[in-house]
Chain A
Amino acid sequence: MALALAILVLLPLGWLAATSLTTDNAPRELTFRHYHQLFVDRSFLEPFWVTLWTSVAVGLLCVAFAAPMAWLVSRTDLPAKRLLRMMILASFATPPFLGAFAWVLLGGPNAGLVNHWYYWITGFKPFEAESLVNIFSAWGIVFVTALYTFPYVFTFVATSLDHIPSDLEEASAILGAPAWRTAIDVTLPLALPALLAGFLVAFLQSMTLFGPAAILALPASIDTMTTRIWSLFQFPPKLGLAAAASLPLLLITVVLLRAQARIMGRRGFSVLGGKSTGQRLLRLGVWKPVALLPFAFVLSCSVLLPYGVLAWTAFVKNYSAPAAGNFTFDNWKFVFLEFSQTRLALTNTFLLGVSAATAGTLLATTIGYLSLRKLVWGHRWLSFLATAPVAIPGIVLAVGLFLAYTHAPLVLYGTLTIIFLAYLTKEMPVGYQQVASSLKSVHPELEDASRIFGATRLRALVDVTAPLIRNGVIATWMFIFIGSIRELSATILLFTARTKTVSVTMFDLRESNDWGPIAVLSLTMLAITFAMILAINFFNDRRVT
């Protein structure tokens, strides 16, 4: 078990390091040429710089919007909180590349609907006046990426605020501090670790995402690190360089995740044990509409407009034409009945989703049980290996897998298996953490009790542990399934004509500007995702929560 896990994680990384240090063609020799080129070649320095500043911008933008939003939801009598939280969850559940597609339709410089409205309102003519927004730009990437990463910051900060007992704030109030003073002196410092951690996660997301960058930056001839690595895989492939370019991403991720863990560990949840007497909510009064403004703006941009434009595009012949005589079901017919590519892709995606989710859940549950109950030697290593892939960006993992499995004895390139391995590895940390947290909530004495009354360890597992972690296990399966069917960053390097997935097919359809089918596939993906989230709630066994 540990060995299989070690191979799964370490083999690709080993190949990554080895390839980055050897020449591409036989005879293979040790060289630092690739790294050298990384530091002198403008075609690498430029994308690196773009990646860096856009990611910082995404992080700052997320914090600037999400922190006040979290504070409003947690600390004031804002109306419709449930709805707002649900819509933020919907932003979270939306694959960023879907958002990017939608924003091409909305924010394309001439045909984009937002610009359409702008011309219609102002009376300017397209091609004569400057368009209102141009999504095909570095700022376009920042905007779209931020829309789908701000939920991380929001969740971190809101959770942190929810756990700050209001008596800490009341203590400040009783000593004479006005509300704003308390917010700055007490609430902010307590929420700061969550804020920092949120910033780091947003930064990392932005740095390692392939979808938005590829969809929005490539048409504007801008490269980020992920699109640059991808382009190194186009013919003729430059594998050594690709490997060398992947390692900085890996290193930055490892360092920042460690920093995040330290920040959260040090102070983040130190007040978690506090005995809270219920939150005292600040009355917004006449400011309510103003407080709702940021929510209206962000959620329109992340959910309402994109979902709307996708729904519209799926049912019309031309998304930028007027409604009259435009409606059609051809896009749906095309995707599900006519176009062989999409049917193959749907089958592949479904197969991959089910197999990765099933294998991942089994593996995560077994590892979780063995390591948390300390049943095997080296259980610490098991949990380390299971969570380590969280630090491997999807595209870096794909480079590693590509290098590892194009060689004898295991030639997996061109099979669904290699994509399956990518999904399994990538989703393992999420699965493991999910299972581990439900296992941790099962007090060991519950199992001990079963043993002392005559059950063997296996029987105790069946009678007590399994029913109690059932919710967590079902949720794990669905999370891995959702994560797998939307995967793009790793798949983009690993697919071949026979092993296309839905996400990759959508990426292809964009080349031919087939926006109708893209919209149909997007809606399908969203529908499956939300059906799964509803199903998790449906299957929840409420007796044990």
Chain B
Amino acid sequence: MTHLELAGLTKRYGGVGAVEDVSLSVAKGEFICLLGPSGCGKTTTLRMIAGFLEPDGGEIRVAGEVVSRPGRSLPPERRNMSMIFQSYAVWPHMTVLENVAYGLKMQKRPAAERRERALAMLAATRLTDHADKYPAALSGGQQQRVALARALAPNPAILLLDEPLSNLDANLRGEMRMEIRRLHEQFGNTSIYVTHDQMEAMTMADRIVVMNGGRIEQIGTPHEVYDAPKSRFVARFIGASNVLEAKHVGGNQVEVAGHALEIGRGDFAGAGRDMSFCVKTHDVDLVPDGTAHGNNALPGVVRSHAYLGSHRDYIVDVGQEMLISAPASLDLAPGAKVSVRFHADRCRGLVQ
């Protein structure tokens, strides 16, 4: 059942499109990540959903009702949404309990109920001991949990999260990822999560929306986006991928620097045209000595390598530079001649 719907959403600043024709259907209780580099329009999209920005084109519907369209936007306070901000935005002049109870106060719930529910939320976020403290006395992670408890307390129809973990250090970030996902399972709010960190998106989202330059590049489950990127941008951004330039020969055959390769999946440009294909860094074989040509392989030269304990990362020049993860036992010096062998079913053709 569609709960939140964006249809042709557009926002321009001084003629430049920050968000261009974004359409998306979100089911009730779904956890969606908007993923992309800074300036890709993900935060602008989120702020339009929240009602802080008015779209220049398209509309936003919640449960079938239009809440945003050019010239007519419901103000944020009348959308029954909650939000967690990058800066936490925990109010320093209110105690933790007052912070968490604020949304309930705005809903004009009785004082006793407010207190009970706020305390329950503090228990759920393991902040009970800090109820009467001021936020300045809390650590960054604790402040973020206050923001989380505050956002969940009014039981919002839709929960918006704007890079909530980007100000935390790495250890806390991992812990908070679990926490957010756990609370999502517990309360089941429809959630829109904005991030530039593909790890966060992969581990938390039901579906990922990859954005670039104000447009949606791909929508899919974490597995789909990782395994079957639809564009060069998605392949590069999701990481651990090499994107190589090639020429389509015909059928499943492409040509790279005079060597024929077979590509198992993906899109093809049409015979004679330029295209790309992507392959994960650990999905190719690095073979020493560089004589095994022809067998779906390219000759190359080792440029540098880094020992990472579990494996070694090699930069190999095959006419284009590739990053290759090889077993730690394979020790090749820079300048060594090598062959890079491809497996057709691990290579994916890209046209966009």
User: A residues near B, CB below 8 A?
Assistant: 443, 445-446, 448-457, 459, 463-464, 467-468, 541, 543-544
Given A543-B134, A543-B136, also A452-B93 (CB < 8 A): no
Q: Is B87 an interface residue (CB 8 A)?
A: yes
Q: Is the CB of B92 within 8 A of A445?
A: no
Q: Is B36 an interface residue (CB 8 A)?
A: no
Min Cβ gap B271→A in Å is: 54
Selected from B76, B78, B136, B154, the residue in CB contact (under 8 A) with A448 is B76
Given A448-B52, A448-B76, A448-B83, also A453-B89 (CB < 8 A): no
Q: Is the CB of A445 within 8 A of B77?
A: no
Min Cβ gap A449→B in Å is: 4
> In the assembly, what is the distance between CA of A454 and CA of B82, in Å?
9
Given A541-B93, A543-B93, A543-B134, also A453-B87 (CB < 8 A): no
Q: Is the CB of A452 within 8 A of B77?
A: yes
Q: Is the CB of B83 within 8 A of A544?
A: no
Min Cβ gap A497→B in Å is: 49
Q: Is the CB of B89 within 8 A of A454?
A: no
Residues of A within 8 A of B86 (CB): 445
Min Cβ gap A442→B in Å is: 10
> In the assembly, what is the distance between CA of A450 and CA of B83, in Å?
10
Q: Is the CB of A454 within 8 A of B85?
A: no
Q: Is the CB of A454 within 8 A of B106?
A: yes
Q: Is B75 an interface residue (CB 8 A)?
A: yes
Query: What are the 10 tightest A-B residue pairs by CB atom distance, in nearest-first order?
Result: A454-B106, A453-B103, A445-B89, A449-B89, A445-B85, A451-B76, A452-B83, A467-B93, A544-B92, A454-B77
User: B residues near A, CB below 8 A?
Assistant: 50-52, 75-79, 81-83, 85-87, 89, 91-93, 102-103, 106-107, 134, 136, 150, 154, 160
6 sampled A-B residue pairs with Cβ under 8 A: A443-B89, A445-B86, A448-B50, A448-B76, A452-B79, A454-B107
Q: Is the CB of A449 within 8 A of B93?
A: no
Q: Is the CB of B85 within 8 A of A448?
A: yes
Q: Is the CB of B82 within 8 A of A544?
A: no
Given A450-B102, A468-B93, also A445-B87 (CB < 8 A): yes
Q: Is the CB of B91 within 8 A of A464?
A: yes
Selected from B134, B150, B154, the residue in CB contact (under 8 A) with A454 is B154
Min Cβ gap B55→A in Å is: 17
Residues of B within 8 A of A451 (CB): 51-52, 75-77
Min Cβ gap B148→A in Å is: 12
> In the assembly, what is the distance between CA of A455 and CA of B75, in Å?
10
> In the assembly, what is the distance between CA of A451 and CA of B87, in Å?
16
> In the assembly, what is the distance between CA of A354 and CA of B89, in Å?
35
Given A468-B93, A543-B136, also A452-B87 (CB < 8 A): no
Given A451-B52, A452-B83, A453-B82, also A446-B91 (CB < 8 A): yes
Min Cβ gap B96→A in Å is: 12
Residues of A within 8 A of B85 (CB): 445, 448-449
Q: Is the CB of B77 within 8 A of A455?
A: yes
Q: Is the CB of B91 within 8 A of A452?
A: no
> In the assembly, what is the distance between CA of A453 and CA of B109, in Å?
13
Selected from B51, B52, B102, B136, the residue in CB contact (under 8 A) with A453 is B102
Residues of B within 8 A of A445 (CB): 85-87, 89
Residues of B within 8 A of A459 (CB): 77, 106
> In the assembly, what is the distance between CA of A454 and CA of B93, in Å?
19
Min Cβ gap B132→A in Å is: 13
Min Cβ gap B158→A in Å is: 10
Beta-carbon nearest neighbor of A446 in chain B: B89
Residues of B within 8 A of A448 (CB): 50, 52, 76, 83, 85, 89
> In the assembly, what is the distance between CA of A468 and CA of B93, in Å?
7
Residues of A within 8 A of B91 (CB): 446, 449-450, 464, 468
Min Cβ gap A515→B in Å is: 49
> In the assembly, what is the distance between CA of A509 and CA of B134, in Å?
54
Residues of B within 8 A of A543 (CB): 92-93, 134, 136
Selected from A443, A457, A468, the residue in CB contact (under 8 A) with B87 is A443
Selected from A443, A453, A457, A541, the residue in CB contact (under 8 A) with B106 is A453
> In the assembly, what is the distance between CA of A459 and CA of B106, in Å?
10
> In the assembly, what is the distance between CA of A347 and CA of B88, in Å?
49
Min Cβ gap B45→A in Å is: 15
Residues of B within 8 A of A457 (CB): 75
> In the assembly, what is the distance between CA of A454 and CA of B50, in Å?
11
Residues of B within 8 A of A467 (CB): 93
Q: Is the CB of A452 within 8 A of B107?
A: no
Known: A451-B76, A452-B79. 11 other contacts (CB 8 A): A446-B89, A448-B50, A448-B85, A449-B91, A450-B91, A450-B102, A452-B82, A453-B103, A454-B103, A455-B77, A543-B93
